[in-house]
């Protein structure tokens, strides 16, 4: 019941990220904006009705199997709608293949592969063969790594200048992207074959008679390539620390409001609340004039709340509580709970001005 809504919670933000990235680098508004948004809502809702597809092999009986196979296949529809809308966004646009855009396109391609194997799990009879094999592992990695992680990387490259005022290197970024794409396909694509040949998951050893050694070897090499790619990304992030924060307001020519303010944003964000007349306030069309520029200095003093340690205190108490509960040590649970409660209480009743 928990597991499946959770994976949709993981993918929906990444879908949102690429719905921001694709229009910017295609120089076109998101195709079918309303449909994309409502598809997201439908996915979030349907996501609650598919969970028993993890239990097809546990003997639920034909009726439950059919219902959950049906709901699972149904969720492919809003997902497919989104995919077509993203492709429609790029169609005929002025594409700029920045690292962020490459990751967004990689998301679409990889997520389609993961989605197709997902539909093959939805068919309960086929799933009985696939349960607990590497075929399932291949599916989850195409949707979670090829989907969510690539989407998050797209967002990192896109918003890094806004977050830090410093640009990530595009050339290192492209090395990162291509190594990631090659590495993940090398690691996860052979799992489809090894899985169907009977490679069980969550088992560290297997018989060489199974005939999957070559496939597993490829997966291992692919995993190493992904590791190297991620090191390139870490290096890319770390090296920006030494640069001056000189990123312009809007390095990508984006249309949304965050690009109207300096990078990184000042603590008060907007000098005054902007008047927004369209969905893409920084792009102007016949119907929507250009947004009025914001004054550089706030017209009147802006009240900004001070920093606080209490949210950190509360967050610190929670893992202590969880560790205590997991190790069956009630005193540690109580200590964690006390830290958590004190943190929340002081946070709630903190003076607004510090």
Partner 1 sequence: MAHETTHAHRTSMGLDSRKMAFWAFIGSECLLFGSLISTYLIYKGRSLTGPYPHEILNIPFTSFSTFDLLMSSLAMVLALAAVQRGDMKQGKIWLLVTALLGLVFLGGQFWEFSHFLHEGLGLTTNLFGSTFYVLTGTHGAHVTVGVIWLLTLWVQALRGKLGPANAMTVEITGLYWHFVDVVWIVIFTVVYLIQ
- 8-state DSSP, 348: H
Question: Cα–Cα distance between 216 and 218 in angstroms, integer?
Answer: 5
Q: How far is the CB of 313 from partner 1 (least distance, A)?
A: 17
Instruction: Give whichever of 1 and 63 is closer to partner 1, judged by the CB atom.
Output: 1
Q: How far is the CB of 341 from partner 1 (least distance, A)?
A: 8
Residues that bind partner 1 (CB under 8 A): 345, 349, 351-353
Structure tokens, 306: 């001070």
Instruction: Give whichever of 293 and 307 is closer to partner 1, judged by the CB atom.
Output: 307
CB 138 within 8 A of CB 191: yes
Instruction: Give whichever of 7 and 337 is closer to partner 1, judged by the CB atom.
Output: 337
Q: How far is the CB of 48 from partner 1 (least distance, A)?
A: 11
Structure tokens, 216: 């597993």
- 8-state DSSP, 200: B
Q: Label residue 293 exposed, middle or buried (CB < 10 Å: 0-12, 13-18, 19+).
A: exposed
Instruction: Give whichever of 234 and 268 is closer to partner 1, judged by the CB atom.
Output: 268
Question: Cα–Cα distance between 21 and 68 in angstroms, integer?
Answer: 34
Q: How far is the CB of 100 from partner 1 (least distance, A)?
A: 33
Q: How far is the CB of 301 from partner 1 (least distance, A)?
A: 14
Query: b/e per residue, 17-50, with b = 16+ CB within 10 A?
Result: bbbbbbbbbbebbbbbeebbeebbebbeebbebb
Question: Cα–Cα distance between 74 and 343 in angstroms, integer?
Answer: 44
Q: How far is the CB of 346 from partner 1 (least distance, A)?
A: 11
Instruction: Give whichever of 170 and 350 is closer to partner 1, judged by the CB atom.
Output: 350
Instruction: Give whichever of 231 and 334 is closer to partner 1, judged by the CB atom.
Output: 334
Tokens 């063969």: give the residue.
129
């Amino acid at each position: 019941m928990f597991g499946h809504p959770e994976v949709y919670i993981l993918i929906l933000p990444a879908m949102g990220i690429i719905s921001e990235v694709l229009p910017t680098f295609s120089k076109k508004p998101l195709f079918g904006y309303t449909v994309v948004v409502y598809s997201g809502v439908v996915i979030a809702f349907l996501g609650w009705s598919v969970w028993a597809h993890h239990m097809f092999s546990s003997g639920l009986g034909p009726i439950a199997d059919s219902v959950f196979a049906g709901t699972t296949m149904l969720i492919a529809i809003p997902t497919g709608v989104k995919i077509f809308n993203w492709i429609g966004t790029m169609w005929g646009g002025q594409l700029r293949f920045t690292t962020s855009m490459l990751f967004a396109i990689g998301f679409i391609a990889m997520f389609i592969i993961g989605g197709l194997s997902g539909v093959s799990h939805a068919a309960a009879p086929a799933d009985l063969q696939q349960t607990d094999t590497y075929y399932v592992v291949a599916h989850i990695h195409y949707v979670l790594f090829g989907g969510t992680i690539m989407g998050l990387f797209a967002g990192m490259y896109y918003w890094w200048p806004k977050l830090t005022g410093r640009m990530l290197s595009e050339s290192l970024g492209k090395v990162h992207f291509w190594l990631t794409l090659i590495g993940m396909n090398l690691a996860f694509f052979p799992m489809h074959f090894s899985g169907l040949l009977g490679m069980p998951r969550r088992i560290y050893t297997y018989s060489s008679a199974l005939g999957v050694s070559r496939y597993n070897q490829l997966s291992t090499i692919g995993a190493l390539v992904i590791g190297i790619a991620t090191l390139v990304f870490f290096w890319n992030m770390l090296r920006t620390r030494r640069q001056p924060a000189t990123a312009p307001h809007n390095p990508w020519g984006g249309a949304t409001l965050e690009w109207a303010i300096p990078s990184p944003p000042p603590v008060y964000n907007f000098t005054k609340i902007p008047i927004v007349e369209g969905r893409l306030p920084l792009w102007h069309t016949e119907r929507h004039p250009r947004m009025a520029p914001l004054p550089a200095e706030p017209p009147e003093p802006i009240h900004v709340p001070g920093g606080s340690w209490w949210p950190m205190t509360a967050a610190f108490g929670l893992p202590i509580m969880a560790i205590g509960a997991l190790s069956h040590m009630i005193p540690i649970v109580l200590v964690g709970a006390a830290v958590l409660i004190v943190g929340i209480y002081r946070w709630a009743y903190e003076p607004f001005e510090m």
